[in-house]
């Protein structure tokens, strides 16, 4: 199979779909890999690294999209990339379609086969291809929040860990999943006063066992969320509904109640955000103020640490990629329901319920579409 890796063109996105090591895994199996010139430069991978791994360096994205049977990316295709996608071409990347109607309609029109990293599952219902970037984003959320709390960033002028004789900052983490757990790792390391809010008592017990008295596990069904948010210095939004738009847990009124210079880091912004006042920002201009509260809502946070992120992502995405390249998408998806969960758009039809519900569009069962009755009676 011919696998294409275009350079990421989303603003301030420096990751790349494949590392040289992943390219070698493909070329060792006699697959052809096309990498756009200097596509991995910002992540610390040179053209020579890719050539040594067996890739061909291609000068333009147009040539890659025209030639490749399977496109591997990191972020969702941008508008000019959507125009280059061919019918039947496999697109393997993060899509986050429930928060992107124009992109969804463009992919439907392209009649391509779109497999989203963020909705592939495992046998325990977890999201193994989303997890590595959620871990990175969770850890970065506290770094970003700590920086945004500085006075020259219009924050409260607080150090998360306080100082001898000075209280630590109150850090409230909404969601105890991968984002929340990793945010807690950094926040407790900085010696903040850390509240982790989740609706699952079982998950809170797991986190308490992991962190001990370093965190305050908080049951969302019993907590006074208004009070908790009004008293916090740093709020991290890490709530996720797989493949669907994030729930708006923090209202405008709650934001108004927050202290002047407090900070919100909405990690869920890729899926629309879990704070009502959130809107996507970039690494170039990461923050804005609403009611004197600093909002950090960068939609591709892990892109700020592209080398770490690219390597972590490839560890998770390579196994499915190798199967897609070795045996094609039909056999791969038919054989494994967890992989099938990643299919969001198939040849002009939406095959993921969270996306169809978000835009009130028709949903089609992916297993029904992939099952070719003609082959049975041939």
**Catalytic amino acids?**
96, 270
Q: Quick one: tokens of 153?
A: 């960033």
- Gap between the Cα atoms of 274 and 294, Å rounded: 15
- Gap between the Cα atoms of 101 and 356, Å rounded: 10
Handedness of CA 157, 162, 166, 170 (dihedral sign): positive
> Closest Cα partner for 297 from 322, 328, 273?
273
Q: What is the DSSP letter of 164?
A: T
Listing DSSP states for 283-321 in one string gives SSS-EEEETTEEEE-BTTGGGGSHHHHHHHHHHHHHHHH
Contacts of 224 (CB under 8 A, 6+ apart): none
SS3 helix, strand, coil % of the chain, rounded to 5?
45, 20, 40
């Amino acid at each position: 199979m011919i696998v294409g890796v275009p350079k990421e063109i989303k603003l301030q996105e420096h990751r790349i779909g494949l590392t040289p090591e992943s390219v070698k895994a493909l070329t060792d199996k006699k697959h052809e890999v096309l990498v756009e010139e200097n596509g991995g430069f910002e992540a610390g991978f040179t053209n020579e690294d890719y050539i040594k791994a067996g890739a061909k360096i291609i000068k333009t994205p147009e040539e890659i999209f025209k030639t490749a049977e399977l496109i591997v990316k990191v972020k969702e295709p941008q508008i000019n990339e959507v125009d280059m996608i061919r019918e039947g071409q496999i697109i393997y990347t993060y899509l986050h379609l429930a928060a992107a109607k124009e992109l969804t309609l463009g992919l439907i029109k392209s009649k391509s086969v779109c497999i989203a990293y963020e909705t592939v599952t495992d046998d325990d219902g977890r999201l193994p291809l989303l997890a590595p970037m959620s871990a990175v984003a969770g850890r970065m959320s506290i770094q970003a929040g700590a920086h945004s709390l500085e006075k020259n960033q219009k924050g409260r002028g607080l150090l998360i860990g306080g100082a001898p004789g000075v209280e630590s900052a109150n850090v409230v983490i909404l969601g105890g999943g991968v984002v929340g757990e990793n945010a807690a790792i950094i926040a407790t390391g900085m010696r903040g006063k850390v509240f982790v809010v989740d609706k699952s008592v079982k998950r809170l017990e797991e986190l308490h066992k992991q962190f001990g008295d370093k965190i305050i596990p908080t049951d969302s069904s019993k907590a006074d969320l208004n009070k908790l948010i009004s008293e916090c210095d740093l709020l991290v939004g890490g709530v996720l509904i797989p493949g669907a738009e994030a729930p708006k847990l923090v209202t405008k009124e709650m934001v108004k109640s927050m202290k002047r210079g407090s900070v919100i880091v909405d990690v869920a912004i890729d899926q629309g955000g879990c704070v009502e006042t959130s809107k996507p920002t970039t690494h170039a201009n990461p923050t804005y103020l609403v009611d004197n509260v600093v909002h950090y809502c960068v939609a591709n946070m892990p892109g700020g640490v592209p080398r770490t992120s690219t390597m972590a992502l490839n560890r998770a995405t390579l196994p499915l990629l190798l199967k897609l390249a070795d045996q094609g998408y039909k056999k791969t998806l038919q054989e494994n329901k967890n992989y099938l969960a990643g299919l969001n758009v198939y040849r002009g039809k939406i095959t993921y319920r969270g996306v169809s519900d978000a835009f009130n569009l028709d949903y089609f069962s992916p297993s029904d579409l992939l099952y070719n009755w003609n082959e049975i009676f041939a």
